[in-house]
């Protein structure tokens, strides 16, 4: 008998941050697995490019909208459009997120140099930028009495990762929000609505390339520190998050909710000594 535990055929999956490295790569992978994808990212031209690329190389079962995850009017509009087109949302992947230079404490700075306006922006993008789409798109799941949400946590959520204060505070709150929403949706709507998160270790992406790699491709000092605390001794590859997310949104994980799964080459297991 065919193993259907991981079957995604017919599932409608919305992905925020879909023009980015991790969420974008995952979205394309899920399209290859037979799901129907709705790509969401900040700018129309980036979304159009991703959708056109997917249609040309993978499948026609893909559409996309410009969607700022911090704008409730846009979120509501996109929600209505998805519901009009597909009538359901089975999965939401909250991939929009990232850091910004003003909210990090540089090597020659201290906490007293923090720009609180930039701290607020990073907190908003990485926390409210998951909370707002979740509340918006989970309405479909509450009606359907089924659905899966996957959030992006980080290694900074549970331990002090120097420099990135706002980002760390937000990702710590994402772990808490993941558990909170898992309980809320299972108790008040259906045990078939699940909320989980993955906590990637260090993957080279748009937001952190300059922190980890020099222009010639060799590691920065911080890149070296990360590699030394990663037992596998390397950064993650984009496709190494696909399997964990596929598992979390599949029937194989139907009794799994409120978890945060590290995909980190052992970073979180190791003290560094």
Ligand X SMILES: NC(=O)c1ccc[n+]([C@@H]2O[C@H](COP(=O)([O-])OP(=O)(O)OC[C@H]3O[C@@H](n4cnc5c(N)ncnc54)[C@H](O)[C@@H]3O)[C@@H](O)[C@H]2O)c1
E-assigned strands of the chain? Answer: 12-16, 36-41, 62-66, 91-94, 147-152, 193-200, 260-263
* Closest to ligand X by CB, 11 or 267: 267
Task: Please tell me the distance from the alpha carbon of residue 174 to that of residue 123, in angstroms, as a whole number.
Answer: 11
Residue number, nearest CB to ligand X: 20
Report in angstroms how near the CB of residue 65 gets to ligand X at its nearest: 10
- The catalytic position among 29, 65, 119, 167 is 167
Angle at 146 between CA 143 and CA 151, to 5 degrees: 110
List, in sequence order, the alpha helices (H) in 87-146. Answer: 116-123, 129-144
Report in angstroms how near the CB of residue 238 gets to ligand X at its nearest: 8
270 is catalytic: no
* Closest to ligand X by CB, 79 or 152: 152
Task: Please tell me the distance from the alpha carbon of residue 62 to that of residue 116, in angstroms, as a whole number.
Answer: 39
User: 213: helix, coil or strand?
Assistant: strand
Binding site for ligand X (CB under 6 A): 16-17, 19-23, 41-42, 67-70, 95-98, 125, 129, 152, 154, 200, 202-203, 205-208
Report in angstroms how near the CB of residue 71 gets to ligand X at its nearest: 8
* Closest to ligand X by CB, 190 or 225: 225
Q: Which residues are catalytic?
A: 167
């Amino acid at each position: 008998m065919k193993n259907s535990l991981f079957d995604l055929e017919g599932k409608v999956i919305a992905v925020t941050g879909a023009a980015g490295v991790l969420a974008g790569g995952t979205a394309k992978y899920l399209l290859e697995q037979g799901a129907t994808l709705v790509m969401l990212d900040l700018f129309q031209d980036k979304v159009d490019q991703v959708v056109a690329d997917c249609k040309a190389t993978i499948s026609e079962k893909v559409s996309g909208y410009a969607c700022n995850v911090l704008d409730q009017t846009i979120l509501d509009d996109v929600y209505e459009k998805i519901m009009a087109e597909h009538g359901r949302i089975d999965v939401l992947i909250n991939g929009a997120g990232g850091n910004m230079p003003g909210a990090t404490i540089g090597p020659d700075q201290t906490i007293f140099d923090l720009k609180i306006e930039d701290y607020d922006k990073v907190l908003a993008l990485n926390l409210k930028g998951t909370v707002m789409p979740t509340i918006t798109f989970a309405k479909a799941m509450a009606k359907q009495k089924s659905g899966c949400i996957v959030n992006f946590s980080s290694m900074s959520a549970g331990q002090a990762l120097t420099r990135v204060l706002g980002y760390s505070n937000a990702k710590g709150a994402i772990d808490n929000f993941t558990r909170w929403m898992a309980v809320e949706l299972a108790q008040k709507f259906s045990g078939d609505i699940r909320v989980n998160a993955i906590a990637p270790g260090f993957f080279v992406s748009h937001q952190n390339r300059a922190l980890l790699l020099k222009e010639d491709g060799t590691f920065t000092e911080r890149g070296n520190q990360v590699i030394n605390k990663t037992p596998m001794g390397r950064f993650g590859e984009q496709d190494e998050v696909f399997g964990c997310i596929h598992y979390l949104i599949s029937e194989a994980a139907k009794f799994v909710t409120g978890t945060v799964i590290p995909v980190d080459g052992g970073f979180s297991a190791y003290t560094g000594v």
